[in-house]
């Protein structure tokens, strides 16, 4: 009696056939579903030549402990050939607190660099050619504060603000869904984001004003279909907020960018990126009436899947990261960060970070995947998967719309509960051995080799507190408080808050003082209990 083979399922719980053929593309119209590379609906990529002219931007995520230590790491990365920097901030900075506040105790410098004032930002980017680099900052609720500090430092060093290139994540809605580093209520957060859009359109025209992130939802357990659906639903909310604030869609939409994960399930990931581009192009053209082709392009940064890295046999993560990075490239990413193999244990060591960058360089310069655009175009399996993922994502986007849009659905706990359900299912599959994780539930070792992780010195917090005390003793505190009051006044009304915010930061107001000034007016977000 023949053994029955169980049906294979994708990460999005869609069926995967053992064999695909022409019948799986019945009714498939390449002219409308694919188009040409660099042309609507951008399924094949947002640029005509993609990597055949030059590779994607290779970013490495850095930032730990002190600004001085992070600056040293940046110089090493630039010397190693990276063309873009990506900054990690510590938890107090992400939450809008200074290092000397009681709530920050024990967290200063732990998961990223502590940036309390423009003084720290000067140290962080000292000696780096900011006018030539592209800098991505993973910061959300206080994104405006960190962006303005960066602009001030760049201008001090002679850089032309109109030429500064980079991205702030600035995606607060996903914080309510997956991470929790929010400050203000959703309505006020959207007001702040609209002000950032308007400010950058005038002052920093090359800056990507938001990186709408599915990455963190994926790390929390979202499937590929959920990742793109909830990300694009959030994006629609941001577009509506900006239009509601009086901005023309084609003024701000060309600077929108996205941030996705790349998993080891290579085929589905390639299909996911292609489906996301196609959905977004149609949303912008058909729902928002965007006429500028750049408004219709889904440009995105990718980071390899940290959630799939294991503390057991950590060197195996080098293989995982290589596959994840390859999937991102085959899917048409604009920039890529490859995780270090030791990140499941602690902050990456210098050697591990260099190996992660070398992984990208091998893909770019030692393989042939950069020699042709969209290598999987026309593939029976990838085109079928792209169509299936598109349909699944559109169904979820509609479910969000049916609940009143992304903010209303967040307040109802919809996205969070859907992601938690998926994460729980994966955990069960791993526990029951139905899903293989090499080194965890299969091919394990009786004894793991010792590994010495990078550790953060607790002296960092003491030093930051001392720097803050010296800053407050040295600056003009009356001028700072007057500037903070002008910020509060703008927040109470309709003026763009970034202009008084920049003035206060130039006078050496701290990030925490800026956030507290806005808290005074807008309040704090307290999530509704969902159980």
What is the pLDDT at residue 530? 47
Residues 427 and 463 in one domain: no
- Rounded Cα gap, residues 60 and 75, in angstroms: 12
- Rounded Cα gap, residues 410 and 404, in angstroms: 10
How buried is residue 129: exposed, middle or buried, by Cβ count under 10 Å (0-12/13-18/19+)? exposed
Containing structural domain, residue 494: 458-522
Residues 470 and 425 in one domain: no
Query: Residue with structure tokens 């995982």?
Result: 320
Q: Is the pLDDT of residue 346 over 80?
A: no
Question: How many whole angstroms from its chain centre is CA 58?
Answer: 15
CA atoms 354, 360, 363, 365: torsion sign: negative
Residues 463 and 428 in one domain: no
User: In the chain, how many domains are there?
Assistant: 2
Mean pLDDT computed over 477-496: 98
Task: Report if residue 252 sits inside a domain.
Answer: yes
Residue range 247-261, pLDDT digits in tens: 999 999 998 999 999
Tokens in use for 154?
């760049």
End of a domain among 374, 398, 432? 432
Q: Are 136 and 301 in contact (CB under 8 A)?
A: yes
Q: Is the pLDDT of residue 529 over 80?
A: no
Q: For all residues of the chain together, what is the average pLDDT? A: 93
How buried is residue 470: exposed, middle or buried, by Cβ count under 10 Å (0-12/13-18/19+)? exposed
Residue range 100-121, pLDDT digits in tens: 999 999 999 988 899 999 999 9
Q: Are 277 and 43 in contact (CB under 8 A)?
A: yes
What is the pLDDT at residue 123? 96
- Rounded Cα gap, residues 283 and 43, in angstroms: 14
Mean pLDDT computed over 199-218: 94
Task: Report if residue 226 sits inside a domain.
Answer: yes
For residue 284, give the CATH number of its domain.
3.20.20.240
Residues 425 and 506 in one domain: no
CA atoms 378, 47, 332, 419: torsion sign: negative
Q: Which comes out higher in pLDDT, residue 25 or 349? A: 25
Q: How many Cβ atoms are within 10 Å of 247's Cβ, its own excluded?
A: 17
For residue 9, what are the β-bridge partners? 15
For residue 257, what are the β-bridge partners? 211
- Rounded Cα gap, residues 190 and 194, in angstroms: 6
Q: Are 510 and 465 in contact (CB under 8 A)?
A: no
Is 298 strand, coil or helix?
Answer: coil
Residues in the chain: 531
Question: For residue 465, which phi and psi values (nearest 5 degrees)?
Answer: -65, -40
Residue range 171-205, pLDDT digits in tens: 999 999 998 999 999 999 999 999 999 999 999 99
How buried is residue 174: exposed, middle or buried, by Cβ count under 10 Å (0-12/13-18/19+)? buried
Question: How many whole angstroms from its chain centre is CA 221?
Answer: 16
Tokens in use for 55?
């590779």
Nearest-Å Rg of the Cα atoms of the chain is 23
Task: Report if residue 527 sits inside a domain.
Answer: no
- Rounded Cα gap, residues 383 and 27, in angstroms: 12
At 63, is the pLDDT very low, low, confident or very high (cuts 50, 70, 90)?
A: low
- Rounded Cα gap, residues 367 and 375, in angstroms: 13
How buried is residue 185: exposed, middle or buried, by Cβ count under 10 Å (0-12/13-18/19+)? middle
Mean pLDDT computed over 492-510: 98
Q: Are 44 and 35 in contact (CB under 8 A)?
A: yes
CB within 8 A of 446, min separation 6: which ones? none
End of a domain among 432, 450, 474? 432
Q: Is the pLDDT of residue 68 over 60?
A: yes
Mean pLDDT computed over 55-84: 80
Residues 336 and 463 in one domain: no
Task: Report if residue 530 sits inside a domain.
Answer: no
Q: Are 153 and 127 in contact (CB under 8 A)?
A: no
What is the pLDDT at residue 3? 55
Q: Are 464 and 114 in contact (CB under 8 A)?
A: yes
Tokens in use for 371?
């020699």
Task: Report if residue 152 sits inside a domain.
Answer: yes
Mean pLDDT computed over 128-140: 91
Residues 409 and 479 in one domain: no
Residues 235 and 371 in one domain: yes
Residues 425 and 469 in one domain: no
End of a domain among 364, 397, 432? 432
Q: Is the pLDDT of residue 455 over 80?
A: no
Q: How many Cβ atoms are within 10 Å of 31's Cβ, its own excluded?
A: 7
Task: Report if residue 506 sits inside a domain.
Answer: yes
Task: Report if residue 401 sits inside a domain.
Answer: yes
Question: For residue 32, which phi and psi values (nearest 5 degrees)?
Answer: -95, -30
What is the pLDDT at residue 458? 84
- Rounded Cα gap, residues 224 and 9, in angstroms: 13
What is the pLDDT at residue 1? 47
Q: Are 65 and 113 in contact (CB under 8 A)?
A: yes
What is the pLDDT at residue 461? 94
Mean pLDDT computed over 352-372: 95
Residues 517 and 420 in one domain: no
Distances (CA, A) of 372 to 43, 78, 277: 15, 28, 19
Residues 400 and 486 in one domain: no
At 74, is the pLDDT very low, low, confident or very high (cuts 50, 70, 90)?
A: confident
* Per-residue burial over 494-519, b = 16 or more CB atoms within 10 Å of its CB, e = otherwise: eebbbebbbbbbbbbbbbbbbbbbbb
Q: Are 102 and 79 in contact (CB under 8 A)?
A: no
Q: What is the DSSP string of 433-488?
A: TSS--BTTTBS--SSPPP---B---THHHHHHHHHHHHHHHHS-HHHHHHHHHHHH
What is the pLDDT at residue 65? 66
CB within 8 A of 492, min separation 6: which ones? 521
Residue range 270-299, pLDDT digits in tens: 999 999 999 999 999 999 999 999 999 999
Q: What is the DSSP string of 339-359?
A: PPTTTTTSBPPHHHHHHHHHH
What is the pLDDT at residue 379? 97
Query: Residue with structure tokens 């110089």?
Result: 75
Mean pLDDT computed over 132-145: 93
Residues 314 and 399 in one domain: yes
Indicate the pTM of the whole model.
Answer: 0.89
Percent above pLDDT 90 for the chain: 82
Q: Which 8-state DSSP code applies to residue 177?
A: I
Residues 393 and 511 in one domain: no
Task: Report if residue 292 sits inside a domain.
Answer: yes
Q: Is the pLDDT of residue 531 over 60?
A: no
- Rounded Cα gap, residues 299 and 325, in angstroms: 17
Q: What is the DSSP string of 56-70?
A: PEEEEEE--B-HHHH
What is the pLDDT at residue 61? 63
Q: Is the pLDDT of residue 4 over 80?
A: no
């Amino acid at each position: 009696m023949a053994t029955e083979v169980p049906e294979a399922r994708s990460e999005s719980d869609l069926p995967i056939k053992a064999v695909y053929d022409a019948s799986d593309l019945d009714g498939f119209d390449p002219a409308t579903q694919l188009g040409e590379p660099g042309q609507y609906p951008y399924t094949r990529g947002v640029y005509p030549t993609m990597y055949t002219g030059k590779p994607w931007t290779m970013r490495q995520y850095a930032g730990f402990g002190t600004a001085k230590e992070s600056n040293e790491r940046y110089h090493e990365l630039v010397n190693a050939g990276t063309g873009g920097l990506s900054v990690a901030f510590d938890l107090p900075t992400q939450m809008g607190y200074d290092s000397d506040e009681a709530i920050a105790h024990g967290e200063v410098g732990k998961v990223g660099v502590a940036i309390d004032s423009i003084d720290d930002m000067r140290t962080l980017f000292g000696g780096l050619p900011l006018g030539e680099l592209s800098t991505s900052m993973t910061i959300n609720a206080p994104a405006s504060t960190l962006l303005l500090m960066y602009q001030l430092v760049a201008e001090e060093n002679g850089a032309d603000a109109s030429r500064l290139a980079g991205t702030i994540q600035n995606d607060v809605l996903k914080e309510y869904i997956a991470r929790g580093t929010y400050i203000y209520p959703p309505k006020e957060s959207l007001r702040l984001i609209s002000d950032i859009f308007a400010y950058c359109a005038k002052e920093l025209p090359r800056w990507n004003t938001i990186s709408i992130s599915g990455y963190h939802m994926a790390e929390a357990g979202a499937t590929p279909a959920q990742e793109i659906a909830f990300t694009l639903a959030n994006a629609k909310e941001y577009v509506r907020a900006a239009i509601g604030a009086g901005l023309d869609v084609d003024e701000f939409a060309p600077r929108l960018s996205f941030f996705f994960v790349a998993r080891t399930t290579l085929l589905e990931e390639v299909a996911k990126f292609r489906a996301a581009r196609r959905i977004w192009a149609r949303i912008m053209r058909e729902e928002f009436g965007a006429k500028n082709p750049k408004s219709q392009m889904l440009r995105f940064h990718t980071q390899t899947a940290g959630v799939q890295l294991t503390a057991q046999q950590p060197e195996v993560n080098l293989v995982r990261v290589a596959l994840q990075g390859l999937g991102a490239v085959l899917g048409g990413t604009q920039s890529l960060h490859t995780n270090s193999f030791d990140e499941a244990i602690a902050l990456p060591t210098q050697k591990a970070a260099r190996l992660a960058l070398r992984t990208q360089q091998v893909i770019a310069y030692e393989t042939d995947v950069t020699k042709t655009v969209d290598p999987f175009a026309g593939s029976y399996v990838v085109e079928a998967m792209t169509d299936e993922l598109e349909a699944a994502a559109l169904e979820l986007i509609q479910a969000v719309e049916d609940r009143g849009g992304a903010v209303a659905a967040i307040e109802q706990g919809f996205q969070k509960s859907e992601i938690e359900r998926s994460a729980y299912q994966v955990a069960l599959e791993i526990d029951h051995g139905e899903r293989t994780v090499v080194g965890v539930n299969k091919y394990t070792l009786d004894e793991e080799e010792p590994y010495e992780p990078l550790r953060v010195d607790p002296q960092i917090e003491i030093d930051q507190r001392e720097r803050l005390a010296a800053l407050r003793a040295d600056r003009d505190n009356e001028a700072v408080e007057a500037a903070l009051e002008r910020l509060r006044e703008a927040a109470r009304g309709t003026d763009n808050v970034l202009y008084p915010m920049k003035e206060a930061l130039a006078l050496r107001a701290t990030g925490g003082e800026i956030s507290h000034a806005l808290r005074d007016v807008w309040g704090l977000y307290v999530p509704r209990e969902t159980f």
